Amino acid sequence: MKINFKPVKKILYWVVFVLVIILGVFVYWKYGFTYSKGYRAGLLQKFSEKGVVFKTYEGEMILSSVQSNANVAIASEKFLFSVADEAVAKQMEQIQGKNVVVHYHEKNGVLPWVGESTYIVDSVRVADVAGGTYHP
């Protein structure tokens, strides 16, 4: 008695094919899909290159929602972000301590060689004191 494995192989190939497609879609959704994008304005408080195996650029901004008459932030929150582009990182190093406006993309997950934060900043400009902006 001989058992015919041909239909079983065909089903197994299709199952593997569907699993690979599902895995590919999941990886794209987790690491490649941009969940949101926008601008944030605040004081660039900290910016550094860090990491043990993968060196990434990480930054911290203070977003102030309420300011006093002396132009001091009363109510604020921190915005933690990563920078993947080295040209933007060099620009950030030059303007640390100033009020800036950054454009970011938020991802669903992070890869260790991209950064620690799901917020990836791709451009920065210095904010004018009057509220407008200019490009450095």
Name the residue with higher pLDDT: 24 or 32: 24
Residues 28 and 42 in one domain: no
Residues 77-116: pLDDT tens digits? 899 999 999 999 999 999 988 899 999 999 998 888 888 8
**What pLDDT, on the 0 to 100 scale, is given for residue 9?**
86
Residues 19 and 53 in one domain: no
How many structural domains are present in the chain?
Answer: 2
Residues 10 and 46 in one domain: no
Dihedral (CA of 36, 38, 41, 44) sign: positive
Q: How far is CA 97 from CA 15, 17, 54, 92, 108, in A?
A: 55, 52, 26, 10, 29
Residues 27 and 54 in one domain: no
For residues 54 and 42, the answer to whether their CB atoms sit within 8 Å is no
Segment 57-68 shows an average pLDDT of 81
Q: State pTM to two decimals.
A: 0.74
Domain that holds residue 51: 35-134
